[in-house]
Structure 1
Amino acid sequence: MRFLALWLILFAAPQFARADDAVLKVGVTTRDFVPAEPYDWRGAATHALRVMIWYPAVAEAREQPQSIGPRLIPFARAGRAAPDAAPAVGPRRPLVLLSHGFGGTASDLAWLGVGLAAHGFIAVAVNHPGNNQLEDYTVEGFALMWLRAVDLSAIIDAMRADGTFGDRLDPARIGAAGHSLGGYTVLAIAGGITDPARTEAFCRSPAADALCTAQAGVSDLRRKSQLRLGSDPDFRQRYSLAGNSYRDERVRAVFAMAPGPGPALTPESLGGISIPVAMVTGSADEVAPPASGAEALGKAMPHAALTEFPRAGHFVFFDTCTAVGRLVIGAVCRDPDGIDREAVHAETIGLALDFFTANLR
């Protein structure tokens, strides 16, 4: 079973405050947003951006345990939230966009969405077309990874126009957070520019690490991508747009968890990122090792802060798995000995809250 194979405030005037003692009820809902055409759907069958939204709910909302997988035997726990609860009345809220990893889903980051919403944020996670668990992966969804940043920009537009949330969010306070390829995505929307050849060169060099081994898991998609580059002029033209900037000036701060593939982003563009960046990673990351991932990225960005969790692996930033999930999903649910995934989540939520509270002013 494919499951994330590879490749996270309250308004205060005049000041922001984290207000840990003011935990709010959390609501959760879904939307299918359809951007104006033409839109590059990357070969996906569904021509809509399917999202999950977590938000502060009214005090009388009845939260319920949320999960991933079959209802009776779920694979992972996704926090507590009240489905389709009425949003809380109050000031305009900061918005944080969430981007899942390679082949994942919006619900993979439910733990973070719930944590942010409980402290006054609206968090929205998108299923990236052609590269999510709900449908077959596509060559375009694999190869045109920089278009994930376009998805996030489209979600900003859609949320601002939404009848329920548009008037409840503050367009001047927008951030983004992502895991794995989602970490790459938020760095791209912050101004990082992609050069796919850099990853290929890295994996041929003496510095090659587990990032390159992890990429072997998508060898069929890579082979088909190379064939398309040689035979399909339209695909070749779309691929040539990798070097464009996908910076969205509305995004004021980004939070990247175990970001990868780091080598794909050019050092010059990373050095030019002017908004605050925070990253978290595990020292034992087996998919996006810190040496070529978060650590290298941190050195290249002038406004980046990095927190490393000793002995933690790549998938520690995925939802907390059940016993069934550990049997069915395998590596995504397994952590090195001594790692408490829920404790890492709690600390990461705290870091994200502090970061966005300080930087979405």
Structure 2
Amino acid sequence: MSVGFRQGVSEDPARLAWDASRPRPLAWTAWYTAAEDAVPTRSSLKSLFRREAVAVEAPLAASTRSFPLVLLSHGTGATALALEWLAHRLAQQGYVVLGVDHHGHTGSETYRAEGFLCMWERARDLSALLSDLSWRAALGGNIDEDAHLVGFSAGAYTAMLMVGARIAYSQFEPDNPVKSPIRGPREFPDLADRLPALFDNPVFREAWERRRDDHSDNRIKSAFAIAPGRSVLGFDRNSLHTIQRPVFLVAADADRQAPAECWRFLHDNVGGPTESPKTTKPELDIVHGGVDHYVFLPEAALPGFASEPELFADPPGIQRREVHDHVAECAIRFFARQPERIGTTGDV
């Protein structure tokens, strides 16, 4: 079964770009089951990652039923293409998979400290994209109005926000009682020190004041959260207790970027406090073998080995493709177990 591939740019008219020059951009990438005569090829463009073979701009396969939809939220500083390994496998199973490059927090454009600090704006990206009609027109066919959501690392934080987690404190907020051991991620190591000066930017000020808002979206059917990072420790516990939508957590057993306390915090609190016997807890899968955070990125292309070796240094005996196969199978089975939702209104 061939996988189609298409990219485009939408926008959120309700928010401005960080430099206030235009509406907030929503650069999207879609993978989907392609028409029978589609011919997949592998991109020749230079990339850190090994790209999958796709049929670029091929028509969506004909179907008498609506295609189920999965949204993707990438990790810090990455792009939707960093989850192509999973998107491709899902598309082969009949899903339409739609990812967005989160403005200011993505490698497809210049990094902005605002984007790294206001990570809750990522949830609004996906809500806006769900409401946008342009990508649906570009793909054609009949695609579900609601969606499952997959997020990796910072994307896992996004996924939890969209099923009901609320923010008590931002990771680098000065008043946060849970002090981060770092001042910023590898892409922005002095991020916390940049916060005071950013209040001169009115777009940032407005976004910052939204951090404790409700960022959930009723159209999200379930959350598949891969390697949630330290930012989740700032969630309000009571908000996690009230989450009723299905959640699946994936963790690596030797993750230095997203240590075990992060997934344990979610596992112990989502659906109710640990001591409550009546709660439905998230499903959990831990990848063993001394596996670190970046095993959930694609396999390396030659430029990746040369320029970013730490992203591809898996321990002996670990085959990244096998890990990807396993995680994809977990996602496919998890989504298949979720009942059809009747009468979804699409209200946010």
Q: If the length of structure 1 is used for normalisation, what is the TM-score?
A: 0.83
Indicate the residue corresponding to 1:304 in structure 2. Answer: 282
Name the one with the larger helix percent: 1
Indicate the residue corresponding to 2:18 in structure 1. Answer: 42
- Return the match for 2:136 from 162, 174, 196: 162
Structure 2 counterpart of 1:305, one-letter code: E
Q: Distance in 1 between matches of 2:255 and 2:124?
A: 27
Unaligned runs of 5+ in 1: 1-23
Q: If the length of structure 2 is used for normalisation, what is the TM-score?
A: 0.86
Label 1:233 to 1:121 Cα distance change in 2 as closer, same or farther (>3 A). Answer: closer
Label 1:321 to 1:327 Cα distance change in 2 as closer, same or farther (>3 A). Answer: same
Structure 2 counterpart of 1:341, one-letter code: R
Question: Is the counterpart of residue 271 in structure 1 residue 241 in structure 2?
Answer: yes
Indicate the residue corresponding to 1:149 in structure 2. Answer: 123
Report deviation, 1:181.
0.2
Structure 1 counterpart of 2:158, one-letter code: T
- Return the match for 1:319 from 298, 309, 324: 298
Question: Is the counterpart of residue 194 in structure 1 residue 173 in structure 2?
Answer: no
Report deviation, 1:287.
0.5
Report if aligned partners of 1:160, 1:167 keep a CA contact under 8 Å in 2. Answer: no
- Return the match for 1:240 from 209, 220, 228: 209
- Return the match for 1:92 from 63, 66, 75: 66
Question: Is the counterpart of residue 288 in structure 1 residue 258 in structure 2?
Answer: yes
Structure 2 counterpart of 1:309, one-letter code: V
Report deviation, 1:223.
1.3
Question: Is the counterpart of residue 227 in structure 1 residue 203 in structure 2?
Answer: no
Report deviation, 1:159.
5.0
Q: Distance in 2 between matches of 1:305 and 1:113?
A: 21
Label 1:234 to 1:150 Cα distance change in 2 as closer, same or farther (>3 A). Answer: closer
Indicate the residue corresponding to 2:323 in structure 1. Answer: 344
Larger relative contact order, structure 1 or 2 (CA cutoff 8 Å, min sep 6): 1
Q: Distance in 2 between matches of 1:233 and 1:239?
A: 10
Report deviation, 1:124.
0.6
SS in 1 for 2:316: coil
Deviations 1:167-198 (A, max 9, x none): 421224x1110111011111111111123356
Structure 2 counterpart of 1:64, one-letter code: T
Report deviation, 1:44.
8.0
- Return the match for 2:103 from 116, 129, 139: 129
Deviations 1:267-315 (A, max 9, x none): 1111111100001110111101122x11221111124111000121111
Indicate the residue corresponding to 2:42 in structure 1. Answer: 65
Deviations 1:138-157 (A, max 9, x none): 12101111010000111111
Indicate the residue corresponding to 1:76 in structure 2. Answer: 49
SS in 2 for 1:170: coil
Q: Distance in 2 between matches of 1:360 and 1:77?
A: 35
Question: Is the counterpart of residue 333 in structure 1 residue 312 in structure 2?
Answer: yes
Unaligned runs of 5+ in 2: 272-280, 341-348
SS in 1 for 2:284: strand
- Return the match for 1:101 from 72, 75, 84: 75
Report if aligned partners of 1:65, 1:77 keep a CA contact under 8 Å in 2. Answer: no
Indicate the residue corresponding to 1:183 in structure 2. Answer: 156
Deviations 1:108-149 (A, max 9, x none): 011111111100000011000011112221121011110100
Question: Is the counterpart of residue 257 in structure 1 residue 232 in structure 2?
Answer: no
Q: Distance in 1 between matches of 2:76 and 2:256?
A: 14
Q: Distance in 1 between matches of 2:282 and 2:34?
A: 33
RMSD: 2.2
Q: Distance in 2 between matches of 1:241 and 1:164?
A: 32
Deviations 1:246-266 (A, max 9, x none): 000000101011012221211
SS in 2 for 1:151: helix
Aligned length: 324
